[in-house]
Amino acid sequence: MNTKMRTVTTAGMKTNASGNRNKMKVSVLSLRALLVLYIYVLVKVILFKFHSLDLGFLGGRLLAGLRQPGLISQQLHTGNLVPFREISRSLYSLTDHALFNVFGNVVIFMPLGILLALMFKVKEMPGMKVFICAFALSLCLETAQLLFRIGQFDVDDILLNSAGGLLGFWIYRIIAEPMRSANG
């Protein structure tokens, strides 16, 4: 494993060979640590609704579901497998809870898009890759809800989370690109 501390520039800020201290450097290691922390927070919020992580409880829920597959099947049937069904209902009803759910699912994944844009050069990480990363992470979280039977599997959550990751990436690009041009 390469132990060199590689640095990246953020928001178009560059560093010169003399180590100009006015320019902000962020180490890739720091960004990776921030990504791990972000994913931990996602798990706490999405799976555990801010409750403690009880591995014994999770193990018991998973084993019960594996021993009785009907429990997981029943959980899946109560979820939403039809794209845009819950989004449409939420936007039609316009209740505070429904709107919070739609916009919350987008906003909670925006940091992922920003972090991925910071960790990789924009050319290395185009929007489609960010969308796929957000989609995969969201699918893992929704599947965990299903397997542990601690939430409802909702395909609309996956779509909204993926859109949030992509939106975060585009917001970073919109802000960073003009700053790079201005800095030469």
- What pLDDT shows up at residue 10? 46
Distance, C-alpha 48 to centroid of its chain: 16
| Cα→Cα distances 132→83, 109, 176, Å | 17, 12, 22
Least-confidence region, from 45-49, 86-90, 109-113, 128-132: 45-49
Secondary structure (DSSP) of 74-123: HHHHHSB-STTHHHHHHHHH--HHHHHHHHHHHHTTHHHHHHHHHHS-TT
pLDDT in tens, 129-162: 999 999 999 999 999 999 998 889 999 999 999 9
pLDDT, average across residues 85-113 = 96
Residue 3 reports pLDDT greater than 90? no
